[in-house]
Homo-oligomer: A and B are copies of this chain.
Amino acid sequence: MGKSPAESILSGDRKILARLLTQVENRSFEGLAALDELFPHTGKAHLIGLTGAPGTGKSSLVNQMALQYRSAANPKRVAIVAVDPSSPFTGGAVLGDRVRMRDLAGDPGVFIRSMASRGSLGGLAQTTAAVVQVFDAAGFDVILIETIGAGQTEVDIARLAHTTLVVEAPGLGDEIQAIKAGILEIADILVVNKADLPGAENTERALKGMLGLAHPVEKVFRHHGETMVVPAGEPANAALWVPPILRTIATDGTGVGELIEAIEQHAQHLRRSGDWGRRERARLEAEFEALLTETLVSKFRSNIPDIRYDEVVERMVQRTLSPWEAVKELLGG
């Protein structure tokens, strides 16, 4: 008997890895079975999320980070998951891929995967979680999860990561800055990319101001919405993390080394404080609940004859049965 797909991936077969990623995205039986087999091998990778508006140069930054992780004295294996929730119909992420391919092509320590909403069944965040699990089991040390935009889907995907980077750039206008106000709360590290452009200082100042709002003097932000009160003037203790603001120029690599260093410090902070384990638990719970929901609904639906279902929908269209009454009727009998 030959190896199972999961065994092949654990031994580093890239072709089988690519095929399995597709199966996982399609939620095929083979994909789900392999996820079960791979699961005990997960939990080792450092998951790094990057989000920010279009035009901030996230893709170039991810590219540079991958190059620097690869050229380090102790090179890390890097997987890149580029998620584009704004492409429900076309694979917008593919273009970014081709640009990246040029620099990273042929390196067996790098694997790039693009995902758009189309073709992902059961929610993009859920599919991304499964894809990340495959890379984790396959032994990639660092998994860079890049999302375009700053909407709810991006926030959900950012929650997958141990470390979340919010990327900003000078001169994107006030309205885009305003969007960031919400997403700041999920940032572990803030990056002002394109720092050679005029206005970089203003952008940094604006972010500092917003961080000040999010974390006033007597309150220090710790982790995804949790806050800890620290009396003004007293030093924050080791369990607290104040998001640093870093400047980078992704096109020539300036500041990317410092960024990687800050990410490493964040990982150490998470392990010291116990937040690493808490984030793992929250992530697994979210994944479990999404799967549970999916299974409950498909089980219930398969027990209701189509004709009964259609009849209920027809009564809703006629306005004689409300959606809520329809649910009660189907669940009751």
Give Cα distance in the complex from A312 to B287, angstroms.
13
Question: What is the CB-to-nearest-CB distance from A225 to chain B, in angstroms, rounded to a whole number?
Answer: 8
Number of copies: 2
Q: Please judge, given known A-B contacts A295-B327, A313-B288, whether A92 and B182 are in contact too, CB under 8 Å.
A: yes
Question: What is the CB-to-nearest-CB distance from A176 to chain B, in angstroms, rounded to a whole number?
Answer: 6
A117 and chain B: residue at smallest CB distance: B152
- Would you call B316 and A288 a contact (CB within 8 A)? yes
Question: What is the CB-to-nearest-CB distance from A96 to chain B, in angstroms, rounded to a whole number?
Answer: 10
User: What are 26 A-B pairs at a CB distance below 8 A?
Assistant: A40-B319, A43-B319, A54-B175, A54-B176, A55-B176, A85-B152, A86-B149, A86-B179, A88-B182, A88-B183, A90-B181, A92-B181, A116-B182, A149-B179, A281-B313, A284-B323, A285-B316, A288-B312, A288-B316, A288-B326, A289-B297, A291-B326, A292-B300, A292-B331, A295-B331, A299-B331
Give Cα distance in the complex from A331 to B42, angstroms.
24
A288 and chain B: residue at smallest CB distance: B323
Give Cα distance in the complex from A155 to B90, angstroms.
14
Contact string, A98-117, partner B, CB cutoff 8 A, digits 1/0? 00000000000000000011
- Would you call B40 and A320 a contact (CB within 8 A)? yes
- Would you call B281 and A292 a contact (CB within 8 A)? no
Which chain B residues lie closer than 8 Å to A312 at the CB level?
288
The answer, yes or no, to whether A124 is at the interface (CB within 8 Å) is yes
The answer, yes or no, to whether A173 is at the interface (CB within 8 Å) is yes
Q: How many residues of A contact B (CB 8 A)?
A: 68
Give Cα distance in the complex from A179 to B116, angstroms.
12
- Would you call B295 and A293 a contact (CB within 8 A)? no
With most chain B CB atoms within 10 A of its CB, the pick from A116, A225, A319 is: A319
- Would you call A55 and B117 a contact (CB within 8 A)? no
Give Cα distance in the complex from A117 to B181, angstroms.
13
- Would you call A185 and B149 a contact (CB within 8 A)? no
The answer, yes or no, to whether A36 is at the interface (CB within 8 Å) is yes
Which chain B residues lie closer than 8 Å to A150 at the CB level?
86, 149
Question: What is the CB-to-nearest-CB distance from A55 to chain B, in angstroms, rounded to a whole number?
Answer: 5
Contact string, A307-332, partner B, CB cutoff 8 A, digits 1/0? 00000110011011011111100110
Q: Please judge, given known A-B contacts A85-B151, A153-B151, whether A297 and B288 are in contact too, CB under 8 Å.
A: no
A120 and chain B: residue at smallest CB distance: B152
